[in-house]
């Protein structure tokens, strides 16, 4: 009796990522995530030192920033092994995009929202006729916190836009649109 042997040949598809865009994206997103992690950890420590309640956005953005940094580390590992798949990048970028967008919306509400928002306290000036070192120190601390919130808002915009860009770039890599 004759036996039939079936041979299957697996061809591994190579994806060609645009190196300059990918490296630029990695640097910007890791900087954005690290800055957000630092800002929200600092704001949490301030809230703890003042014995105030911690708004949910602070631990949320700490967690989101940490997840983004871990995702970048995963991508760097896959890049070093030349196994970076567009599907992994699209899925991870989409999840992080939704998380960043949620953080961006809540930060904008905290910063520019209704009465009692952070930005409503940012314009207050100390009495210029009275030179009081405690009042000046309090004003400087207040301005520092306002600047932190504004920087967090800006870096959340950057992170959100760059995660959206990465989803588009991964889709283009999957379709071989880059030359």
Q: How far apart are CA 175 and CA 5, in angstroms?
A: 34
The pLDDT value recorded for residue 12 is 65
Q: How far apart are CA 114 and CA 9, in angstroms?
A: 63
The pLDDT value recorded for residue 14 is 76
Residues of the chain with pLDDT under 70: 1, 9-13, 116, 124-132, 177-179
The pLDDT value recorded for residue 138 is 75
Dihedral angle over CA of 48, 30, 86, 90, nearest 10: 30
The pLDDT value recorded for residue 155 is 97
Q: Which helix (H) or strand (E) holds 122?
A: none
Is there a contact between 96 and 170 (Cβ–Cβ < 8 Å)? no
The pLDDT value recorded for residue 65 is 97
Phi and psi torsions of 98, nearest 5°:
-65, -40
Q: Which helix (H) or strand (E) holds 14?
A: none
Cα radius of gyration (the chain): 23
The pLDDT value recorded for residue 118 is 81
């Amino acid at each position: 009796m004759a036996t039939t042997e079936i041979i299957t040949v697996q061809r591994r598809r190579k994806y060609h990522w645009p190196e300059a865009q990918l490296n630029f994206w990695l640097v910007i997103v890791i900087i954005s995530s690290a800055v957000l992690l630092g800002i929200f950890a600092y704001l949490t420590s301030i809230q703890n030192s003042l014995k105030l309640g911690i708004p949910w956005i602070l631990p949320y953005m700490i967690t989101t920033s940490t997840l983004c940094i871990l995702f970048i580390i995963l991508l760097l590992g896959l890049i070093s092994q030349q196994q970076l798949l567009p599907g992994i990048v699209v899925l991870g970028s989409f999840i992080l995009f939704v998380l960043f967008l949620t953080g961006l919306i809540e930060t904008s509400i905290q910063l520019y929202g209704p009465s009692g928002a952070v930005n409503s306290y940012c314009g207050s000036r100390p009495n210029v006729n009275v030179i009081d070192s405690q009042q000046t120190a309090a004003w400087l601390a207040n301005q520092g916190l306002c600047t932190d919130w504004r920087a967090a808002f800006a870096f959340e915009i950057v992170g959100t836009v760059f995660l959206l860009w990465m989803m588009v770039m991964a889709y283009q890599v999957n379709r071989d649109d880059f030359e």
